[in-house]
Amino acid sequence: MPTPQTSCSLPKYLQDDGLTEECRDLITSLPTERGWVADHFFQYQGFWHHSRQLQGVLTCQNHFHAQDSDILLVTTPKSGTTWLKAITFALFNRWLYADDPQQHPLLTNNPHELVPFLELKLYVDNQVPDLTTLTSPRLFATHLPFVSLPTSVKDSACKLVYLCRNPKDTFVSLWHFTNKLRPAEKGTNSLEEVLDMFCRGVSLYGPFWDHVLGYWKASMELPEKVMFLKYEEMKEQPKVQVSRLAEFMGCPFSPEEEKEGVVDGILKLCSFDSLSNLEVNKSGKMSSGEEYKAFFRRGEVGDSVNLLTDEMTKRLDEITDEKLHGSALKF
Ligand code: A3P
């Protein structure tokens, strides 16, 4: 007889034995669906989360206090979070390693370690870290939808940088990524089945379109607080977008820096080829078990054509047109 699998033998991101009573009570009242990685998704404040992630969301909402000088990087999963983390870290710290570039922390640390996620790292498993000792400006990341941000984020002058990516490439990247996270015995998810779920809004931090629109609207209403970026635009005009980003974060490039090619240096350091070929990113792992290499796949625009049928593409295009109608946002 095979031994039943206990939650202790599961990878950390699938375990739900560390939930607080508050979280367990809440879960019993929430709509549920089959998860892409863990068994269940729960819908909280309109968006879908795995249980361990939901615990992180609640703890973060209860305990995170934003400071006016904080910068929060917000993304939909698989829209280039790792890249954005690397670029913002390099931007903020560009004076520290100018004389000795070989000492740059990005050469020996994965960007997720340098810019931690709130709900997935700092507040995971109901931890409440003391972040008051960190030097300002503090740099954090999150996948939280706008509606679920801790109140202090909205009430303070902290800034949000939002990055999203066209839904077809996001979906394909998410399909590949979540298949890597699934335990081998569960096999890969059927593309048709998870596409159907994605289209119904049932995906990690989905509905995808609601997530994007929440920040799009916020960036229209509060442009000095919320900056809206697209992966495709970063790929097409990296220097323009990174200069915009530096300006928004309050550390614009000086004319001397422009002349010395500092922007090019940052883009090179943070490029897909450089980061994905570093030893740390080829062989390292997160404390929760995910391999860093899972965050680097192809890094291209338009890769969805290699997986989606014409019919699938048409379906996603139609939903996107319908959802974004009247918003002036286009992919
Ligand atoms: P693909 O799966 O399409 O290759 P996230 O960081 O939000 O998890 O997103 C992962 C996606 O960003 C993956 O897309 C990954 O390859 C791509 N990516 C990672 N690092 C990148 C970089 N430095 N430049 C461009 N894309 C990058």
Question: Domain residues of the chain, as ranges?
Answer: 12-324
- What pLDDT sits at residue 10? 60
Q: Could you say which of 3.40.50.300, 2.130.10.30, 2.40.30.170, 3.90.1520.10 is the CATH number of the domain covering 12-324?
A: 3.40.50.300
Beta carbon of 81 within 6 Å of any ligand 1 atom:
yes
Q: Which parts of 207-249 are beta strand (E)?
A: 226-230
Strand order in the sheet with 40-44: 32-34, 40-44, 47-49
- What pLDDT sits at residue 118? 98
Beta carbon of 35 within 6 Å of any ligand 1 atom:
no
Measured in angstroms, how far is the CA atom of residue 68 from the centroid of ligand 1?
29
pTM score over 0.75: yes
- What pLDDT sits at residue 289? 84
- Output the tens digit of pLDDT for each of the chain's 331 residues: 443 444 445 666 666 778 999 999 999 999 999 999 999 999 999 999 999 999 999 999 999 999 999 999 999 999 999 999 999 999 999 999 988 999 999 999 999 999 999 999 999 999 999 999 999 999 999 999 999 999 999 999 999 999 999 999 999 999 999 999 998 889 999 999 999 999 999 999 999 999 999 999 999 999 999 999 999 999 999 999 999 999 999 999 999 999 999 999 999 999 999 999 999 999 999 988 889 999 999 999 999 999 999 999 999 999 999 999 999 999 9
Ligand 1 site-directed mutation target among 272, 276, 282, most atoms within 8 Å of CB: 272
- Angstrom CA distances, 80 to 200, 296, 298, stand at 23, 10, 11
- What pLDDT sits at residue 4? 41
Q: Which of 112, 143, 176, 325 is catalytic?
A: 143
Concerning whether 143 is annotated as a catalytic residue, the answer is yes
Beta carbon of 270 within 6 Å of any ligand 1 atom:
yes
Beta-strand pair 47-49/40-44: antiparallel
Closest ligand 1 atom to residue 163 Cα is: 7
